């Protein structure tokens, strides 16, 4: 059974409004480390919000190319032999069919990640470019569908509603139906949780789908979408230059600043339903 940690915590704060001072309870998003192991080998430590840890571990393993098929993960479990109380529920062990040593060595180079950035280093970036094939297919989406996505995702963010401090990722059908949403203090963790959710259930890759993230679209978000075969990525904030470059070279449609009834399309115009897009603007 998966351990479910505390995701939101009450904290006593001093509130200042103008010159008035008061004490009150506030709710903050929980941030704790998660160690991901394959067998006895530690491959990553990421700062995350507890919850859906097995999905997070599975998503990380597939988006880093350590596993490719759902059947390669035999079992996920929390470590029963923790070295300290702080590790309780914060170490996930993946029992897998043997990954190649090169994949394990690559993963070790990404050993420590943070809640805001999970991939660093020139060697890592160069390896990602050739690690996954471009996204194929001819998936098309209407502009009106994209415009409705942020509100749908926002309604599936209870943790953000309490704290204002959690990112979200949602996977949608091309017609705008929400398939799954996850929250985390790190946007890349939220994406891994969504991808891992489907990977663990054998629904992989993920063609004919749209990935929406609540913050910016970084290079790593696009890399994860590429690993999962997702043809559409949308973000309510800005993309980075490397994200745009990777989207264009990988056949992924990338929309940014998706909010308040508008968006910028940075790549994949051929994946936008032009007729329906025109109708949406009339």
Burial class (CB in 10 A: 0-12, 13-18, 19+), 135: buried
CA distance 132 to 127: 9
CA nearest to 90, candidates 158, 159, 42:
42
Residue 79 backbone dihedrals phi, psi, to 5 degrees: -65, 130
79 carries an active-site annotation: no
Both tokens of residue 129?
Answer: 């470019």
Residue 275 backbone dihedrals phi, psi, to 5 degrees: -65, -45
Residue of 112, 117, 274, 279 with catalytic role: 117
The CA–CA distances, whole Å, from 241 to 24, 231, 247 equal: 42, 18, 10
CA distance 159 to 139: 32
Active-site amino acid positions = 117
């Amino acid at each position: 059974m998966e351990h479910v940690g505390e995701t939101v915590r009450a904290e006593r704060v001093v509130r200042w409004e103008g010159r008035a001072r008061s004490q009150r309870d506030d709710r903050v998003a929980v941030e704790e480390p998660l160690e991901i192991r394959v067998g006895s080998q530690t491959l990553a430590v990421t700062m995350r919000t507890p919850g859906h840890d097995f999905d997070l571990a599975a998503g990380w393993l597939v988006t880093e190319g350590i596993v490719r098929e759902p059947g390669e993960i035999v079992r996920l479990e929390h470590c029963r032999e923790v070295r300290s109380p702080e590790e309780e529920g914060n170490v996930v062990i993946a029992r897998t069919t043997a990954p190649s040593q090169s994949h394990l060595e690559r993963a070790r180079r990404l050993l420590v990640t943070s809640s805001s950035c999970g991939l660093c280093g020139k060697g890592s970036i160069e390896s990602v470019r050739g690690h996954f094939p471009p996204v194929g297919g001819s998936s098309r989406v209407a502009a009106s569908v994209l415009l409705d996505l942020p509100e749908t995702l926002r309604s599936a963010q209870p943790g953000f509603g309490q704290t204002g401090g959690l990112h979200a990722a949602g996977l949608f059908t091309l017609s705008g139906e929400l398939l799954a949403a996850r929250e985390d203090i790190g946007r890349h963790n939220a994406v891994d949780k969504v991808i891992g959710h489907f990977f663990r259930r054998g629904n992989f890759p993920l063609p004919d789908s749209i990935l929406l993230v609540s913050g910016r679209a970084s290079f790593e978000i696009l890399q994860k979408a590429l690993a999962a075969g997702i043809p559409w990525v949308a973000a309510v904030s800005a993309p980075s230059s490397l994200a745009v470059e990777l989207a264009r070279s990988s056949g992924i449609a990338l929309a940014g600043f998706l909010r308040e009834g508008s968006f910028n399309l940075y790549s994949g115009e051929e994946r936008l339903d032009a007729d329906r897009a025109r109708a949406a603007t009339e």
